[in-house]
């Protein structure tokens, strides 16, 4: 290459760099244009949706206001209070949405973020207002449907009332039969449930009569609420009648169960007497005998009521008394048997404990005697206490206490031996 073309390589480098820069800038510009186009497309879709909802909600509010007038004329002022509140709420939210739309339409420039945020708020406000109105519209559609079907609904509830009254008569017959056999206290829950059901059935009958008169009159006075109240009373009466049936069943079940518990109590009394008679602890035997006497009284009362034919009986109370007597007697018998077992175990172990105490005392005495000159007072004191505890154990009549005393004697004897050996080692014996 001649010296006159020295600049050619540099020119090629700069040309390539410039081409790369031009292509890069063009690519960035195209990407930016695509992003702007995508942003504009999503924002336009958001605006279209917000505008459509705004128009639809405005129409919905107008339609609901017209519907409110019809509902008020048909059902009265009290029935449309919630509807009126829902319309007021929807109208307030609609005004907020129109204010946001005005900001979007005015001459002042808005950023993309502002336009997106305001359109989103418009959609939310319109959706909320529409939902509030939809709930009330559906409620009144249901009420109108009920009004149209009032004659058919009246027949349905009247049929349900007749079935409930027949069921109530059957339960009253059962109650009357039971009242001839048992005390009034046994039937309190049953009679209370019957009275509750009767009041509800009378209320339902009156409501159905009023509804029938309104339907026959052909006026505009609504009957849906009256029919609904009558249906609710009939349903609640079914619950009260069910409770009455359960109360009657409990009385019959208690009468049967009390006979079985009486047999069980007899066996428990016999078992308790056997434990009482063989018990070596007089105090435990006296406590158990008290429970036996109480159980016997409960059993005697049950037998008396059975002989009297049950006219003054309360099967549930009788059942509770027998169950309580069995529980008390079982607890007392178990406690006495446990005490008896402890005494037997202590009596068996006491012989070995006394032998051990005598043996340990003898070993300690020999140890001290072998080191008589060096053993101090502590070892001799422990030996004297061991001998004293042994005498107490031999004189104790309670085997449990005697066993504890004999074991203390062993411990004192072991301490005396250990102290004697220690004195011997320290003082060179």
309-325 pLDDT per residue, tens: 554 467 777 777 778 88
Q: Is residue 364 a contact partner of residue 301, using CB atoms and an 8 Å limit?
A: no
Region 225-240: mean pLDDT is: 89
Rounded to whole angstroms, the Cα distance separating 424 from 375 reads 7
Percent of the chain exceeding pLDDT 90 equals: 13
Confidence of residue 38 (pLDDT cuts 50, 70, 90): very low
Rounded to whole angstroms, the Cα distance separating 160 from 238 reads 10
Can you read off the two tokens belonging to residue 107?
Answer: 């001459």
Can you read off the two tokens belonging to residue 263?
Answer: 């047999």
Q: What is the DSSP letter of 107?
A: S
Can you read off the two tokens belonging to residue 115?
Answer: 């336009």
* Full-model pTM: 0.45
Q: What value does the mean pLDDT of the chain take?
A: 79
Rounded to whole angstroms, the Cα distance separating 286 from 408 reads 31
User: 């006075």: which residue's tokens?
Assistant: 221
* Amino acid 37: pLDDT: 43
pLDDT at 347 over 80: no
- Helix, strand or coil, per DSSP, at residue 313: strand
Instruction: Select, from the ranges 177-191, 238-252, 319-333, the one with the highest average predicted confidence (pLDDT).
Output: 238-252
Instruction: Select, from the ranges 327-336, 350-359, 387-396, the one with the highest average predicted confidence (pLDDT).
Output: 387-396
Which of 70-74, 259-263, 340-344 has the least mean pLDDT? 70-74
**pLDDT tens per residue across span 238-253:** 999 999 998 888 887 7
């Amino acid at each position: 290459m001649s010296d006159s073309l020295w600049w050619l390589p540099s020119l090629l480098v700069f040309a390539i760099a410039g081409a790369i820069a031009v292509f890069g800038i063009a690519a960035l510009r195209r990407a930016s244009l695509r992003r702007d186009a995508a942003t504009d497309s999503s924002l336009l879709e958001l605006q279209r949706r917000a505008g459509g909802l705004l128009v639809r909600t405005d129409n919905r509010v107008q339609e609901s206001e017209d519907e409110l007038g019809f509902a008020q004329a048909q059902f009265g002022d009290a029935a449309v209070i919630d509807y009126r509140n829902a319309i007021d709420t929807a109208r307030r939210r609609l005004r907020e949405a129109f204010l946001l739309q005005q900001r979007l339409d005015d001459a002042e420039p808005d950023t993309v973020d502002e336009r997106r945020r305001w359109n989103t708020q418009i959609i939310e406000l319109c959706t909320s207002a529409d939902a509030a109105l939809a709930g009330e519209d559906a409620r009144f559609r249901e009420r109108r449907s009920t009004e149209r079907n009032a004659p058919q609904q009246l027949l349905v509830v009247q049929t349900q009332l007749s079935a409930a009254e027949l069921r109530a008569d059957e339960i009253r017959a059962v109650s009357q039969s039971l009242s001839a056999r048992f005390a009034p206290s046994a039937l309190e829950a049953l009679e209370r449930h019957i009275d509750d059901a009767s009041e509800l059935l009378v209320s339902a009958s009156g409501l159905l009569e009023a509804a029938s008169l309104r339907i026959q009159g052909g006026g505009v006075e609504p009957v849906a609420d009256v029919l609904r109240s009558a249906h609710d009373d009939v349903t609640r009466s079914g619950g009260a009648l069910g409770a009455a049936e359960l109360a009657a069943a409990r009385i019959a079940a208690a009468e049967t169960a009390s006979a079985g518990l009486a047999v069980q109590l007899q066996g428990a009394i016999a078992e308790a007497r056997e434990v009482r008679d063989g018990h070596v602890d007089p105090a435990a035997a006296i406590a158990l005998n008290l429970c036996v006497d109480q159980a016997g009284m409960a059993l005697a009362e049950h037998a008396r009521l059975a002989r009297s034919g049950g006219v003054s009986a309360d099967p549930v109370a009788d059942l509770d008394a027998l169950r309580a007597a069995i529980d008390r007697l079982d607890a007392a018998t178990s406690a006495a048997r446990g005490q008896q077992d402890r005494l037997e175990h202590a009596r068996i172990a006491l012989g070995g404990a006394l032998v051990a105490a005598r043996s340990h005392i003898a070993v300690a005495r020999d140890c001290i005697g072998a080191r008589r000159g060096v053993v101090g007072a502590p070892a001799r004191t422990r030996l004297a206490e061991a001998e004293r505890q042994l005498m107490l154990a031999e004189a104790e009549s309670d085997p449990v206490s005697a066993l504890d005393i004999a074991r203390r004697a062993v411990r004192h004897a072991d301490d005396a031996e250990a102290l004697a050996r220690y004195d011997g080692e320290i003082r060179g014996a």
